[in-house]
Amino acid sequence: MVEMIYKNRKNKGQVRIILELFLFALGIMIALFASHFFSNFSEWVNIESLRDQFEATGNLVANGIVKVHNINANASLRLDILSTVNEKSYIIDIAGDKLLLYYLYDPTKRWVQGTFYISANKNINGSVSSGLGEMIIKSYDSTIELTRG
C-alpha cells in the first residue's frame, strides 16, 4: 500500500509538468494567432488606404481635367496633390481616356480611372511624379497636358 501511494505521488508530478507544458503550448499558439491576425489586419488597412488615396488623387486630377476642358480656351490649373501615398512616391500618367496612378518603384500597385471620354475631341497626355506635391494641367488648342508644378 505504501508503494501505491508513492507511485501516485510520482505520477502527480508528471501530470502537473505535462499540464504546464500544454498550457505553455496553448499560450504560444494564442500569441502566434494574434500576431498573424494583426499582421494580416495591418496589411489589409494598408491596401485599403492605398486604394482610397489613389482614388482621391485620381478624382482630383480627373476633376481638374474636366474644369480645364470646360473653359474651352488656353488655360492652366495648378493642383496640390499628395506628395506620397503610404509613404511612397507615385506617378500620375494619362494617355487618352485612362488615368493611371502607380507607385514609382512598384508599378503593380496601381489605380486606373477613366476621364469621362473627353479624349474624343482633345488629346490628353502627360506624366507627373508626386515628388513636388503639385502639378499643372494645361489646355491649349486641342491638347490637355499634365506637367510638373
pLDDT tens-digit profile of 38-77?
989 988 998 898 889 888 988 898 888 888 888 877 888 9
Contact 141, 132 (CB under 8 A): no
pTM of the model: 0.73
Ranges under pLDDT 70 in the chain = 1-12, 117, 119-120
What integer pLDDT is reported at residue 2 of this predicted model?
47
What integer pLDDT is reported at residue 12 of this predicted model?
67
What integer pLDDT is reported at residue 11 of this predicted model?
65
What integer pLDDT is reported at residue 140 of this predicted model?
86
Task: Give the integer Cα–Cα distance in Å for 132 and 112.
Answer: 22
Phi/psi of residue 42, nearest 5 degrees: -65, -40
Phi/psi of residue 144, nearest 5 degrees: -120, 130
Contacts of 124 (CB under 8 A, 6+ apart): 65, 94, 95, 96, 97, 115, 118, 143, 144, 145
